[in-house]
Amino acid sequence: MKPTVSYKQHSIEGPFDGIIIGSGIGGLGLAAILAREGQRILVLERHYTAGGYTHVFRRKGYEWDVGVHYIGEVNRPNSLVRKLFDYVTDGSLEWEDMGDVYDNIRFGDEVFSFRRGTEAFKEGLKEHFPAAEDQRAIDRYVDLVHDVVGSARGFFTEKAVPGPVAALAGPWMRRRLLKHSRMTTLEALQTLTRNPRLIGVLTGQWGDYGLPPSKSSFAMHCMVARHYFKGGCYPIGGSGRILEAIAPVIQDAGGLIVTNAEVASVRVAKGRATGVEMADGRVFEAPRIVSGAGYMNTVRHLLPPEVVERHGMLQDMQKVRPSAAHLCLYLGFKETAQALDLPRANHWIYPEGGYDHDATVERFLENPESEIPLAYVSFPAAKDPDFERRYPGRSTVEVLTVTPWELFAEWQGTRWMKRGPEYEALKAGLSERLLDKLFAVEPQLRGKVDHAELSTPLSTAHFCNYEHGEIYGLDHTPDRFEQRFLKPRTPVKDFYLTGQDIATAGIGGALSASMLTAIAILNRNLTSEIVNHSQ
């Protein structure tokens, strides 16, 4: 059976036990968990392809992922992330380890490799920082990261417990993480070291959560850093395998994942969600409705305005802000990854001496003609051992960077491929700048590009329905962690939220949110069931 069906070509008949709006990993994961409880779930996706940031797209014999560049902890069979993936895929998703080095942090000709394993990570950094005070700072940093992540369980569990329990125990459950989340990453690291070069290296993955050190919550930084301490992995068969592996679990319970299915609004009667109205006017009803479309989309576009006003949701929305926008240059080559000597480790490319990430970002935001503050390079064809079977004699590379939404705002509302010569010239110039960054570290690729395509924030706005093309939903600032409304339960009865906005950025964060929402819906702690589940 195909993993999805088209709304326009398939007869959809109830009853359903639940409806989920959006087919990102948060929605898909939740649908699979509920399916394992015997529930028939309808997942509605407004676009022609499902999977959110886990989906792939293809051009001229090539395939690229759009968001799954690497995932941590899945190479640890007993980690919660691995257990969750095994649970929602019935163990059918396989992973390829990226090897001893997962990230290379580059400042000009300086290269700092992040090595798999906590001790190897520390030893690799200490080779570059021989001073005793720096080595002590590295040890203290790693210990602190572990401590912060260890404090997160209570914080996230509190999001899923019933209201009376949260009111009574919530402050205690949240207290430990809030101590760290209220500090910026820069503030926290400056308590460990005053060496700007070391701080620049330790924060070299800031693009994984979209905020430079003086803006990001230290808790978010720690969760990303800890996520990869044991190395990075990639799904064998490409990121499209995630949808393919989850879909049968949903379908075996009678559920459906439907594409080209745009929801116009959530139906609310007497304070309770009763169903959804589609863009064509058709109505589907279910005992519970879940939005995985993001908090801002849900408030602005899905809930009735009178409901939003009654519960003060617009005021809540003013307390958070959208995350960074990005560019991604998708490249195709008519040679294998092996022939091109492509690495599996990612490159994080920064300006020479650009250890102050905040300064380099600020310069670029003020003047987009200045040096690009970050270029992240991923090599999916090298990471995936099945790529050569699917695309013999081919390989792909992706180059990403942050960008201000304002640079593209004047073309908002225009159609793809019909945005005019000025837009195409802007894209061409940005593509060349990103290619220069790539060729500086992988010079053997120069002159061998067969296909190049740049996606802009307009692409993200279109496919993910984020108004400003944001990649991580809501910004992970210290203030974000204070917001009690970012949780599965909403003021509307039988209406829930899931996805990265109620947990944290990234595939792992959004998948964890699916578990939190399932706990809230079922009013039962599923953690031990998921951890102890065996296929």
Encode 321-382 in three state secondary structure.
CECCEEEEEEEEECCCCCCCCCCCCEEEEECCCCCCHHHHHHHHHHCCCCCCCCEEEECHHH
Which residue intervals of the chain bear CATH 3.50.50.60? 5-60+74-93+236-320+474-532
Residue-wise pLDDT tens digits, 326-366? 999 999 999 999 999 999 999 999 999 999 999 999 999 88
3-state SS assignment for residue 8: coil
Predicted confidence band at 181 (pLDDT cuts at 50, 70, 90)?
Answer: very high
Distance in angstroms (rounded) separating the CA atoms of residues 70 and 228: 9
Instruction: Examine the pLDDT at 258 and tell me if it is beyond 80.
Output: yes
DSSP state string for 395-434: EEEEEEEEE-GGGTGGGTTPPTT-S-HHHHHHHHHHHHHH
Tokens of 157: 């569990």
What are 278's strand-pairing partners?
263
Q: For residues 14 and 514, which has the higher predicted lDDT (pLDDT)?
A: 514
Report whether 382 contacts 342 (CB < 8 A): yes
Tokens of 175: 């207290």
Measure Cα distances from 267 to 243, 336, 407, 494 in Å: 28, 51, 37, 11
* pLDDT number for residue 58: 93
5-60+74-93+236-320+474-532 — its CATH code?
3.50.50.60
What are 401's strand-pairing partners?
327
3-state SS assignment for residue 177: helix
CATH architecture of 324-464: Alpha-Beta Complex (3.90)
Q: For residues 188 and 533, which has the higher predicted lDDT (pLDDT)?
A: 188
Report whether 201 contacts 393 (CB < 8 A): no
Count of residues making up the chain: 535
ω into 196 cis (within 30 of 0): no
Residue-wise pLDDT tens digits, 357-392? 999 999 998 898 999 999 999 999 999 999 999 999
Distance in angstroms (rounded) separating the CA atoms of residues 246 and 88: 6
% residues pLDDT > 90 (the chain): 88
Residue-wise pLDDT tens digits, 238-251? 999 999 999 999 99
The count of other CB atoms within 10 Å of the CB of residue 194 is 11
Instruction: Examine the pLDDT at 198 and tell me if it is beyond 90.
Output: yes
What are 495's strand-pairing partners?
289
What are 325's strand-pairing partners?
403, 470
**Residue type for 280, please?**
D
% residues pLDDT > 70 (the chain): 99
What's the angle, vertex CA 111, arms to CA 105 and CA 112, rounded to 5? 60
* pLDDT number for residue 390: 97
Which residue intervals of the chain bear CATH 3.90.660? 324-464
Distance in angstroms (rounded) separating the CA atoms of residues 16 and 26: 19
Residue-wise pLDDT tens digits, 445-488? 999 999 999 999 998 877 766 777 788 899 999 999 999 999 99
Instruction: Examine the pLDDT at 195 and tell me if it is beyond 70.
Output: yes
